[in-house]
Amino acid sequence: MAAPPLLALQGVVLALGATPILEGADLVVGSGDRICLVGRNGSGKSTLLRIAAGELAFDAGSRFVQPDAVIRYLHQEPDFSGYATTLAFAEQGLKPTDDPSRARYLLEQLGLTGDESPQRLSGGEARRAALARALAGDPDILLLDEPTNHLDLPAIEWLENEIAGLSAAIVLVSHDRRFLERLSRATVWLDRGRTRRLDRGFSGFEAWRDQVLAEEERDRHKLDRKIVAEEHWLRYGVTARRKRNQGRLARLQELRRERREARRAQGDVRLVAAEAAQSGAIVIEAKGLCKRFDDRPIVRDVSIRIQRGDRVGLVGANGAGKTTLLKLLTGALAPDEGSARLGAGVEMASLDQGRAALDPAWTLQDALTGGSGDKVTINGQTKHVVGYMKDFLFAPEQARTPIGRLSGGERGRLALARALSLPSNLLVLDEPTNDLDLETLELLQEMVADYPGAVLVVSHDRDFLDRVATSVVVAEGAGRWIEYAGGYSDMVVQRGAGVGGAPAPAPDKPRAVRPPEPTTPAKEQRKLSFKQKHALETLPARMETLRAEARRIEAALADADLYARDRARFDRLTAAAAETAASLAAAEDQWLELEMLREQLEG
């Protein structure tokens, strides 16, 4: 006989005003369960956790908890009122049998001392104090709502190991797919107010979800066909045996009601980046970058070359200088030493971590149109702003909604919509995955992976980096940064440890990419030679001529019948295309090297 559950929610119904949130949700938690609760932003995951914790009343259904079961709940926004220190907050609710030193141990592991004033904590520090409180006791059930929010990679990896060693039953809500895959053994999907359970961890969820939605679509199609057939009978069928016909008419009305009341799955975000003209082969070239703050080295002697098509991830602990390095590479911040320059024809679109580009007083329409008109232009096509909003799951009536009233997930989608509407061949994304649900994350990674330009991305999402990055640059401490080929998992293999650990010693440890130095060092010259000066003046026109020639050849090769009609001309054009591309790349490299040399000599 199976043991009774520790916690059971059955048929839970909750509406906020006229809006239904939960329409018959179930959640059963047994001893030792590891459940991940997943669903779209706004589907009610946090609401269901609050009901499970006993903090929120519901309209219908039932809640059962074993009388002696202890529940600990991690709030997204903890209440620190009444606590003098973070240690006092973390120790609240401990039983006499709990380890009294564990709260301080957890705070120290999470980067706090226990003596901080809760009223002066940053968002990240508040999240760490709340985690220490949730983990300090020895609960039977642990309800964790977005435990990785505001945490850096070392803290996330530490937290994974800490939770994996607990004996408590766990219900987990998170947007971090790697975190869910590591810790879950069952998945509860909250969709359109109802729950479905899969007795497998998150790694099996996406395929199962797609299968369920496909079956729903087939059933809906069958229902539509049945309604059409019944309506045809209603218009053209015989009228004899009126009583039987009345019953059939009633069934038609029931089918129509079923079709009308069926809640479709929420549509997907449609992510398309507006593309600018192709940039040169080299997008960013940096040499000897150095930056210090208060005598602390943040970036020390970093040299790197980023080319068209590269997707480079920057990772490290909070405060390591990821955003600083990002700004140095893109020219938003001047280095103390060294230089960084964007290549020819680079047009940049940025998404900043704090979404500072979004004025809370703006409306959605103002943010997307720049305050002028009601149209946006994406890849040369003009569309109404309301249509573009729908691509990012905003309702038409939200066009005049102030940004300050949007949720975190909605602000994240809006920031993406704004950044992707700008023509670009270089995307700079600082924590783009913050507050995005799993479905939107999937589409974002597909868009980034298919983006024809270069991408610079700062992220703590290991799964995202694995799926999109061609290389990862890691903060090694004391201002040192090293580049590893591949995604985050590839970096761990090469480095011998994650971001939270010291790299394993190896004779062939990868180094940051260093471009070849000019044959004549800048320090040995006082000015450009006549030949260099002439090349610097004439190369832009030569590059433009080569680009025009490349476009002409590409247009000729676009003829689908050319190969069959004139094989010799096809071969000549193919060879010419390769030769032109090589010449253009060489010219761009020469121009960029000379331009950087000129800046060094003049500055």
Which tops the pLDDT comparison, 244 or 17?
17
Name the pairing type of β-strands 60-65 and 7-16.
Answer: antiparallel
Predicted confidence band at 406 (pLDDT cuts at 50, 70, 90)? confident
Looking at residue 270, its pLDDT comes to 60
> Quick check: 247 pLDDT over 90?
no
Measure the CA–CA gap between 101 and 105, rounded to whole angstroms: 6
> Quick check: 38 pLDDT over 80?
yes
> Quick check: 377 pLDDT over 70?
yes
> Quick check: 160 pLDDT over 90?
yes
The secondary structure of 226-289, three-state, reads HHHHHHHHHHHCCCCCHHHHHHHHHHHHHHHHHHHHCCCCCCCCCCCCCECCCCCCEEEEEEEE
Segment holding 72, helix H or strand E: strand 71-74
Looking at residue 524, its pLDDT comes to 53
Residues 106-135 pLDDT 10s:
999 998 999 999 888 887 788 899 999 999
Q: Which of 16-30, 208-222, 234-248 has the highest mean pLDDT?
A: 16-30
Looking at residue 555, its pLDDT comes to 82
Looking at residue 521, its pLDDT comes to 45
Give the mean pLDDT of 273-282.
68
Give the mean pLDDT of 478-489.
90
Which tops the pLDDT comparison, 228 or 155?
155
- What's domain 282-495's superfamily in CATH? P-loop containing nucleotide triphosphate hydrolases (3.40.50.300)
Sign of the CA dihedral 532, 535, 539, 541?
Answer: positive
Report the first-to-last Cα separation within the chain, whole angstroms: 81
Q: Which amino acid is at 389?
A: M
Three-state SS for 104? helix
Class for the domain spanning 522-602: mainly alpha
Looking at residue 159, its pLDDT comes to 93
> Quick check: 35 pLDDT over 60?
yes
| Domain spans of the chain, in order of start | 7-207, 208-261, 282-495, 522-602
Looking at residue 354, its pLDDT comes to 54
| Range of weakest confidence among 101-105, 255-259, 264-268, 323-327 | 264-268
Looking at residue 592, its pLDDT comes to 76
Predicted confidence band at 562 (pLDDT cuts at 50, 70, 90)? confident
Which tops the pLDDT comparison, 372 or 366?
366
**173, 150 in Cβ contact below 8 A?**
no
Whether 522-602 and 7-207 are alike in CATH topology: the answer is no
Give the mean pLDDT of 359-381.
77
- What's domain 7-207's superfamily in CATH? P-loop containing nucleotide triphosphate hydrolases (3.40.50.300)
Looking at residue 251, its pLDDT comes to 63
Which tops the pLDDT comparison, 220 or 340?
340
Give the mean pLDDT of 479-505.
82
Long-range contacts of 213-216 (CB under 8 A, 24+ apart): 213/265, 216/265
**52, 171 in Cβ contact below 8 A?**
yes
> Quick check: 269 pLDDT over 80?
no
Predicted confidence band at 451 (pLDDT cuts at 50, 70, 90)? confident
Mean pLDDT over all residues of the chain?
81
Looking at residue 586, its pLDDT comes to 78
Give the mean pLDDT of 329-340.
92
Number of Cβ within 10 Å of residue 507's Cβ equals 4
Number of Cβ within 10 Å of residue 451's Cβ equals 19
Measure the CA–CA gap between 510 and 507, rounded to whole angstroms: 9
Q: Where are the alpha helices (DSSP H) in 118-204?
A: 123-136, 153-164, 177-183
Number of Cβ within 10 Å of residue 521's Cβ equals 10
Supply the DSSP symbol for 19.
E
Which is nearest to 145 in space by CA: 277, 52, 208? 52
Q: Which of 189-198, 444-453, 508-517 has the highest mean pLDDT?
A: 189-198
Structure token digits, residue 158: 């530490």
| Range of weakest confidence among 328-337, 356-365, 514-523, 590-599 | 514-523
Looking at residue 240, its pLDDT comes to 44
Measure the CA–CA gap between 27 and 49, rounded to whole angstroms: 9
> Quick check: 228 pLDDT over 70?
no
Looking at residue 65, its pLDDT comes to 95
Which tops the pLDDT comparison, 173 or 355?
173
